[in-house]
Amino acid sequence: MSIFRRETILLMHRYLRARTIRSRRRILDTAKRYNVICRVPRQLHRIDRLLHLSDANCVENIRMDRNTFARLCYLLTERGGLHVGKVVGVEEQVAMFLEVLAHHKKNRVVKFEFWRSGATVSYYVNKVLCAVLSLYSIFLAKSTPVSDDCADNRWKWFKGCLGALDGTHIPVLVSSTDKPRYRSRKGQIATNTLAVCDRNMQFVYVLPGWEGSAGDSRVLRDAVSRQNGLKVPQGCYYLCDNGYANSNGFLTPFRGVRYHLKEWGPGTEAPQNPIELFNMRHTKARNVIERAFAVLKMRWGILRSSSFYPIKTQIRLIMACFLLHNFIRREMPIDPIEAELDGAQYNPIHEDEVIGTQFVESIEPTTNWTQLRENIATEMWMNR
């Protein structure tokens, strides 16, 4: 073997050895950079910056200020059974869950931002979800009927009214075989969610899970017939649109007469008879449920598009959004989402539970209820 060839082989061996050493060092440096001990300062910095920088940043990221967030963590710990994990505190668990709801972030995005593994994020998101749902009796509001001495010009005409109800379609992801059942009349794959709210835009009852093709009346009939479903005391009622029947416990507007708010805006003709006056005041009061839906979907981005969870988990997440909406409106003196909607300020009113021994059991139209609607319209016209 020539000297030149021997030196060439020796240089090649040295080059390969040096390259192997550099590769090993690179692997060791990478492992050192991403091991648990090195990630802890970044993890603590992330949650500390989120919760202690300012209320504005906290609201932008998790939809509530720092005081409300602390109250939520305390409630989930004391009443919801949530506890500190091996390496993840309660605050970080709840923050990850809220960011998923608020911005519809995928698992891979949350794990990168919080310096956690995907399995850790998925585990604690489900843990917090179970804790929130276990407190549904605390988060759901209790409505009281409009009293005879009510001074609110929107509600004083509807004595005994508890609030308003309506259905909303929320996008979901289902299998191909289930898509025909979940396709709404607008062609959207969604679930038809029935929601009932009081006069302060807090939800009293929520029934998610029905297919998008189901009619509103069918969903309401199911809610009333359930053992722990919607309970409407006799003599009280909710305001509904014409998608429902005008029946005991559910007051709808007159058909064939202008009704929607845009038909009563500036430049339009004033009500000309009792029926038109009733419809105008009915829609102004019932608009509270539309505003509640608008604020809810502005607050939680996961409700604006379908998520990549099993359908049962998607329904549970929808329920959690309604419950946390109530908690935020109850704890924060000013709802920033509603303020963003129209600049209005919100002052929460805590109401006691309605006590009644007899409840509405049917939603079939009756002559007595139709006469009641006409009497209310006549009274409005006489006292206009």
120 alpha carbon, distance to own chain's centre: 24
Question: Which of 313, 289, 352 is CA-nearest to residue 133?
Answer: 313
The larger pLDDT score, comparing residue 61 to residue 21, is at 61
Please give the structure tokens belonging to residue 276: 């038109």
Backbone angles phi, psi at 205, to 5 degrees: -150, 140
Helices and strands, number each (H, E), in the chain: 14, 5
Rg of the chain over Cα atoms, rounded to whole angstroms, equals 28
Q: Are strands 250-251 and 237-239 parallel, antiparallel or unpaired?
A: parallel
Q: Residue 26 has what pLDDT?
A: 67
- Please answer whether residues 114 and 121 qualify as being in contact, where contact means their C-beta atoms are separated by less than 8 angstroms: yes
Q: How are strands ordered across the β-sheet holding 250-251?
A: 203-211, 190-197, 161-171, 237-239, 250-251
Per-residue pLDDT at 30 exceeds 70 = no
Per-residue pLDDT at 325 exceeds 70 = yes
- Please answer whether residues 194 and 212 qualify as being in contact, where contact means their C-beta atoms are separated by less than 8 angstroms: no
Q: Residue 37 has what pLDDT?
A: 55
| pLDDT band at residue 17 under the 50/70/90 scheme | low
How do residues 44-54 score in pLDDT, each as one tens digit?
667 777 777 78
| pLDDT band at residue 192 under the 50/70/90 scheme | very high
* Rounded alpha-carbon distances, angstroms, from residue 53 to 47, 161, 298: 10, 44, 23
Q: Residue 319 has what pLDDT?
A: 97
| pLDDT band at residue 346 under the 50/70/90 scheme | very low
Per-residue pLDDT at 331 exceeds 90 = yes
The larger pLDDT score, comparing residue 72 to residue 150, is at 72
CA-CA distance, 145 to 373, in Å (whole number)? Answer: 17
Q: Residue 5 has what pLDDT?
A: 60
User: Of the given ranges (151-155, 208-212, 337-341), which has the lowest mean pLDDT?
Assistant: 337-341
CA-CA distance, 288 to 99, in Å (whole number)? Answer: 27
Mean pLDDT, the chain, whole residue set: 84
Q: Are strands 250-251 and 190-197 parallel, antiparallel or unpaired?
A: unpaired
Backbone angles phi, psi at 252, to 5 degrees: -110, 165
Q: Residue 372 has what pLDDT?
A: 80
Question: Which of 94, 99, 57 is CA-nearest to residue 299?
Answer: 99
Q: What is the 3-state secondary structure (H, E, C) of 58-102?
A: HHHHHCCCHHHHHHHHHHHHHCCCCCCCCCCCHHHHHHHHHHHHH
Q: Residue 352 has what pLDDT?
A: 35
Per-residue pLDDT at 204 exceeds 80 = yes
- Please answer whether residues 364 and 247 qualify as being in contact, where contact means their C-beta atoms are separated by less than 8 angstroms: yes
Per-residue pLDDT at 225 exceeds 70 = yes
Q: What is the mean pLDDT of residues 214-229?
A: 92
- Please answer whether residues 182 and 191 qualify as being in contact, where contact means their C-beta atoms are separated by less than 8 angstroms: yes
| pLDDT band at residue 160 under the 50/70/90 scheme | very high
The larger pLDDT score, comparing residue 98 to residue 371, is at 98
Please give the structure tokens belonging to residue 64: 């509530």
- Please answer whether residues 121 and 96 qualify as being in contact, where contact means their C-beta atoms are separated by less than 8 angstroms: yes
pTM summary value: 0.82
Q: Residue 6 has what pLDDT?
A: 62
Per-residue pLDDT at 221 exceeds 90 = yes
CA-CA distance, 257 to 48, in Å (whole number)? Answer: 57
Q: Residue 274 has what pLDDT?
A: 87
Per-residue pLDDT at 303 exceeds 50 = yes
Q: Residue 354 has what pLDDT?
A: 37
Backbone angles phi, psi at 249, to 5 degrees: 95, -10
Which spans in 195-348 are helix H?
Answer: 216-225, 274-299, 311-331, 336-342
How do residues 70-116 score in pLDDT, each as one tens digit?
999 999 999 999 998 887 889 999 999 999 999 999 999 998 888 88
